[in-house]
Chain A
Amino acid sequence: MNKVGSVLLWAAVAIVGAISLAALALGRGESVNAVWLVTAALSVYFIAYRFYGKFIAEKVLQLDDSRPTPAVRHNDGLDYVPTNKVVLYGHHFAAIAGAGPLVGPVLAAQMGYLPGTLWILVGVVAAGAVQDFIVLFASMRRDGKSLGEMIKMELGPIPGTLALVGVLAIMIIILAVLALVVVKALTASPWGLFTIAATIPIALLMGVYMRVIRPGRVGEASAFGVVLLLASIFVGRLVSESPTWAPLFTLTGPQLAWALIAYGAVAASLPVWLMLAPRDYLSTFLKIGTVVALAVGIYVVAPSLAMPRTTRFIDGSGPVFSGQLFPFLFITIACGAVSGFHSLISSGTTPKMIEKESHARFIGFGGMLAESFVAVMALTAACVLDPGIYFAMNSPAALIGSTAGQAAQAISGWGFTITPELIEQTARDIGETTILSRAGGAPTLAVGMAQILGAALGGKAMEAFWYHFAILFEALFILTAVDAGTRVGRFMIQDMLGHVYRPLGNTEYLPANVFGTALCVGLWGYFLYQGVIDPLGGINTLWQLFGVGNQMLAGIALLLCTSMLMKMKRERYVWVTLVPTAWLLITTLTAGVQKIFSDNPAIGFIALARKFGDAAAQGKLLAPAKSIEEMQRVAFNNYLDAAVCAFFVLLVVAMCVFAAKICLQALRQAYPTAQEIPPQALVGRAAA
């Protein structure tokens, strides 16, 4: 493009972005249109990609297209395949985008739309996209090695092992919290539960079709799978209206928790072609389709943001999660701003498929920007809702009671006027009997989406359909993640146990496999069940534990990136990773320490454990526990959560020390010591 044109174009993008941000942050009185929010985000992404992404690619990492990538060196048609840049972008996005960016921003909406928006935008540019891009680059220069292997290579064997244990712990927590989101969405919802349950036979049918009836015809199976999936939403309505069938699909939280635990154990033991693969295809279609539909819907409908810019709950007294804006906003919105989990994906299959080094900027940096956009849309959908409805859906029963009347009174008392009639009407509109205390993001997002998509397509009559479509879409990929994650966890557990007792590490040995699966399901199932019976609603505990863990992992990945830049003798540019590392460490260590030691039982695990333990010792019952035994269990669970949190804190402090040592060593060296594949490496050395 000619130079003048380019300057004018980017000046225009900058002006549009500045106007949108000004409208968001400064507009007075009148409500702000959601289009400003989405436009501001897009402008920030384009500018960040064009300038900061380019700076990192050219100056910091010095991408070099004359160096053969792993895909070119090993091109084996299987793992290592040079892939078109745009196609790989789609593949990478489908791998990183999950439920995370949909949940965190919805929870954070209790502080108003502005704090969440600003953190998502600043976080993604300064930390999230940088982490994804540089980890992808590091893996690409090391033959597609995984994060654990790279930490071992560059920081040493002990940090490598520590990081793996940390990853396993985070996996367990994330599986529990994702399953909890599904429990919260499906409790006492026969329509939702039927639709989700129907995905199991649909996936089995697809699996059999692809394997036995018409082997290898994945496209055909997917096409009828999608049709059946949509049909199941309509049948779900009939089920929910049937006096005989509805009670069968109306389950309580603990019943659903047990159902999910059983599902996880069985699903993860089936052959992958039977259920996991077909389900993953369906969930990827819905995921990409829904994200696109939501973006179009927001622009077509142009709804106003009903949530205020900031609410009084930035002081830490919020009903959705407790704790002040600093540090808790920064661990509540993890995915969408910066997610440690991405460092595992960016060092997984993607680096083995990159055709040219220069593509890494588009795929790594650009891919994370797209994930961040999903988070912005989730935040938008939550903030479009009447704040009263938002709080009715996301506050635990302990605070708002269990009837529309009690809830309306409590929430109006917080300054968000709402009538019981509106709460009941909203439930009827979406085809449910109640919307109260459905924390966890999915249902709130689904109501927001139903209102946006309903306004664009089908009107009020279709809102119930869109709601259950949105629930289906989230639950589908959460259940896929539960299945796949249980398998990943099982292999990690077996790898570790193999060092202790060799036969347990043998993944071809059935008893060892059963033991590994049972242990993995048992661990996340324990946390899930604990979340379901938690007095503060479970999400309050588990999501923050996950947030701390996930951001710690991001901190570890960025520590690796920092050490790598030092070893490459690029210390001039080390601030690119050092600044986000420092910020992540500050926020997560503060949050971690507060979660453990805060005197406020709504925040501190130990304080809550003491509160329940002391009351139990005096023979007093605290709601919602119904027996002294349950009281003691709540106390024990909170001590356990404190221990998990302490483990994350100690882990990241240890990694910090290891990385600092390596950085100082590298600083004293006169030449680069990073262990990259040399630029003149032969092509086709290990071709299959």
Chain B
Amino acid sequence: MSAQGSPMSAQRDAEAGLGPRWRGLCSACRQVFGMPDYERYLAHAASRHPGAPLLTRAEFCAREIERKYGRGGMRCC
């Protein structure tokens, strides 16, 4: 599953240029399972809204879960 390792590991990996494939795989899993993907949010924010204030991981995840499940989330039989 999308084991995310120790805190800040994603940032550390990014700095060291380590495991881009591993991170890509984790991100893909999170998207398939519909989990919040904080690293992708950071990338999106950096490319589209540089300089804008960022949400923390906790804020981002809380908002994503509320957005996805708040109205129940239509799913199939």
Footprint of B on A, CB under 8 Å?
Answer: 75, 77-79, 81, 83-84, 86-88, 90-91, 94-100, 174, 178, 210-211, 214-220, 222-223, 226, 268, 272-273, 276-277, 280-281, 284-285, 288, 334-335, 339, 341-342, 344-345, 348, 480-481, 483-491, 546, 550, 687
Contact = CB atoms under 8 A, between A and B. Distances in A.
Interface in B26-73: 26, 28, 30-36, 38, 40-41, 44-45, 48, 56-58, 60-62, 64-73
Contact of A216 (B3, B60, B77): B60
A501 to B, nearest CB: 21
Nearest to A546: B77
Interface of B: 1-4, 7, 26, 28, 30-36, 38, 40-41, 44-45, 48, 56-58, 60-62, 64-77
18 contacts: A77-B44, A77-B45, A83-B31, A91-B34, A98-B75, A178-B77, A215-B61, A215-B62, A216-B58, A218-B4, A268-B72, A272-B69, A273-B66, A280-B34, A280-B73, A285-B33, A342-B76, A687-B48
B77 A335 contact: yes
Contacts of B58: 211, 215-216
A222 B26 CA distance: 13
Contacts of B70: 272
B72 A550 contact: no
Contact of A211 (B2, B33, B62, B76): B62
A339 B77 contact: yes
**Which 7 A-B residue pairings sit nearest by Cβ, starting from the closest?**
A487-B72, A215-B58, A90-B32, A488-B72, A100-B77, A272-B69, A216-B57
A219 B34 contact: no
A42 to B, nearest CB: 22
A481 B69 CA distance: 12
A97 B31 CA distance: 16
B70 to A, nearest CB: 6
B2 A219 contact: yes
A484 B76 contact: no
Given A214-B7, A334-B77, A484-B69, 19 more contacts: A77-B44, A86-B28, A91-B32, A94-B33, A95-B34, A98-B77, A178-B77, A215-B58, A215-B61, A216-B38, A217-B4, A218-B4, A273-B69, A280-B34, A341-B77, A345-B75, A487-B72, A488-B73, A550-B77
A484 B75 contact: yes
B77 A345 contact: no
A677 B59 CA distance: 34
Contact of A99 (B62, B64, B77): B77
Given A178-B77, A285-B33, A485 B72 contact: yes
Contacts of A87: 28, 31-32
A334 B38 CA distance: 38
A86 B76 CA distance: 20
Contacts of B67: 78-79
Contacts of B56: 215-216
B3 A223 contact: yes
Nearest to A95: B75
Contacts of B4: 217-220
Contacts, number: 147
Contacts of B45: 77
The B interface, classified by DSSP as helix, strand, loop or mixed, is helix
B76 A97 contact: yes
B36 to A, nearest CB: 6
A345 B72 contact: no
Contacts of A75: 44, 48
Contacts of A78: 64, 67
B77 A481 contact: yes
Contacts of B77: 98-100, 174, 178, 334-335, 339, 341, 481, 546, 550
A216 B72 contact: no
B74 A348 contact: yes
B41 A77 contact: yes
Contact of B65 (A83, A273, A334, A335): A273
Nearest to A480: B75
A119 B44 CA distance: 45
A335 B77 CA distance: 8
Contacts of B74: 344-345, 348, 484, 488
A200 B32 CA distance: 23
Contacts of A288: 32
B2 A272 contact: no
Given A219-B1, A285-B33, A272 B76 contact: no
Nearest to B1: A222
B27 to A, nearest CB: 8
B69 A280 contact: yes
Contacts of B71: 487-488, 491
A216 B72 CA distance: 20
Contacts of A277: 65, 68-69
A344 B38 CA distance: 28
Contact of B34 (A273, A284, A334, A483): A284
B72 A223 contact: no
Contacts of B26: 219
B76 A341 contact: yes
B65 to A, nearest CB: 5
B36 A218 contact: yes
A344 B72 CA distance: 13
A339 B76 contact: yes
Contact of A272 (B3, B35, B40, B65): B65
A218 B30 contact: yes
Given A211-B62, A218-B61, A280-B34, A490 B72 contact: yes
Contacts of A223: 1, 3
Nearest to A92: B32
A641 to B, nearest CB: 18
A95 B76 CA distance: 6
A273 B63 CA distance: 10
Contacts of B35: 218-219, 222, 281
Nearest to B32: A90
